[in-house]
Amino acid sequence: MTQLPDAKGFFGDHGGQFLPPEIIAVMDELNAAFKRYKDDPAFIAEFEYYQRHYTGRPSPVYLCENLTKSMGGAKIYLKREDLNHLGAHKVNNTLGQILLAKRMGKKKIIAETGAGQHGVATAATAALMGMACTIVMGAEDIERQKLNVFRMRMMGATVIPAMSGQRTLKEAVDEALGLWLQDAQNTFYLLGSAVGPHPYPAMVKHFQSVIGREAKAQIMELEHRLPDYLVACVGGGSNAIGLFADFLGDEAVKLHGVEPSGRGLTPGDHAATLTLGTPGVLHGFKSYMLQDENGEAAQVYSISAGLDYPSVGPEHSYLKDIGRAEYFTASDSDAVQAFFVLSRTEGIIPALESAHALAHAMKLASTLDKDKIILVNLSGRGDKDVAQIEQMLSDGLIQAPA
């Protein structure tokens, strides 16, 4: 495969930098620093040190024998990103970016967050590195995610409410960008997924690619061959691209991304961007996007707040275009079902985001022979979701299996 993104940050037709000139200059500075340090032995050593001793890497791969048996087909393995410190894959990226910020001499960190998972991971790693941290969050989301807001504050972050528009993630991004530009000299913008203008998609992929690199070696050791399928949920696309990265050249390994079809594929009820979107520009990059007739980001919805973004990482759009990866959907109820099944069969409570990947993998496994291997990225643990599930059960919106 040729080296992507190209010099302008494009993966085929997607990616790039759709930004005012003053921000492009800051992106150039970031890109130069990333290029300089990503292969620097001292930087790599420091990154690996914290991954091992702070995050707890490597995370294991685990064969779900009970789940495999009950599906009656292919073997289902999990890559256990849920076992990382803070309970998800997000810390891989915040650690990498914060170490880069330190090398660049930045003193302050700014980030936006939707459900708060990226805000918590950013606040934690900022505390670790002794950096001032500001998290911008929609006022509506602050109300809905009180526990995560409290976690961020416990770790010393300042949480600022975004009060404009719908007062959720999109407004938080807009306001965080504005705050950042007031002092871009001293402030590092820590982006939470493989989205945004170049070089963020490439950089986030780089820091998350540890997932697939470890998983490949672990599966080779256990099975002495590559898996047949990789499955990961796709919000912005960081855990999926982190899993896929090391396998892109292994054409025999099929790559499946899973998007949320929410309550159904009617506008406003889902966030199935690659499935139903069209090319458009949002937040400084071009990609498939759910948009209205004026090119504005459409309303999106998913039961899992970590998946409801109206665009998607540009490399996924490229992988879709060239046919290297395929994208599927799982609904709210598919995800809730998979949430219960994994909890009951394996004693592992998955994040609702990850449960989307799991739902697809379970369906897929039952159609395949027993000698096939599926590796699912369990991007996070479900502790953060149990209160929501409990509420839905007591409201009679869902039913636990007998």
Ligand X SMILES: *Cc1c(COP(=O)(O)O)cnc(C)c1O
Q: Which residues are catalytic?
A: 64, 89
Look at residue 58 and give its three-state secondary structure.
coil
Contacts 24+ apart (CB under 8 A), 186-189: 186/106, 186/107, 186/108, 187/106, 187/107, 187/108, 187/109, 187/110, 188/97, 188/98, 188/100, 188/101, 188/104, 188/106, 188/108, 188/109, 188/110, 189/110, 189/111
Instruction: Count CB atoms within 10 A of the CB of residue 49.
Output: 11
User: How far, rounded to the nearest angstrom, does the alpha carbon of residue 166 sit from its chain's CA centroid?
Assistant: 23
Nearest to 3 by CA among 241, 202, 287, 213: 202
Per-residue binding string, ligand X, 281-320, x by CB under 6 A, is -------------------------xx-------------
- Give the nearest residue (CB) to ligand X: 380
Instruction: Between 111 and 184, name the residue whose CB sits nearer to ligand X.
Output: 111
Instruction: Between 64 and 357, name the residue whose CB sits nearer to ligand X.
Output: 357
Segment 185 to 204, residues that bind ligand X, using CB under 6 A: 193
**Under 8 Å between Cβ of 214 and 239:** no
Q: How far is the CB of 306 from ligand X (least distance, A)?
A: 3
Nearest to 101 by CA among 175, 37, 195, 176: 37
Q: How far is the CB of 185 from ligand X (least distance, A)?
A: 28
Segment 378 to 397, residues that bind ligand X, using CB under 6 A: 379-380
Number of chain positions touching ligand X (CB under 6 A) = 18
Per-residue binding string, ligand X, 232-261, x by CB under 6 A, is -xxxxxxx----------------------
Per-residue binding string, ligand X, 34-73, x by CB under 6 A, is ----------------------------------------
Report if residue 90 touches ligand X, rule: CB under 6 A: yes
The binding site for ligand X (CB under 6 A) comprises: 88, 90, 117, 193, 233-239, 306-307, 351, 353-354, 379-380
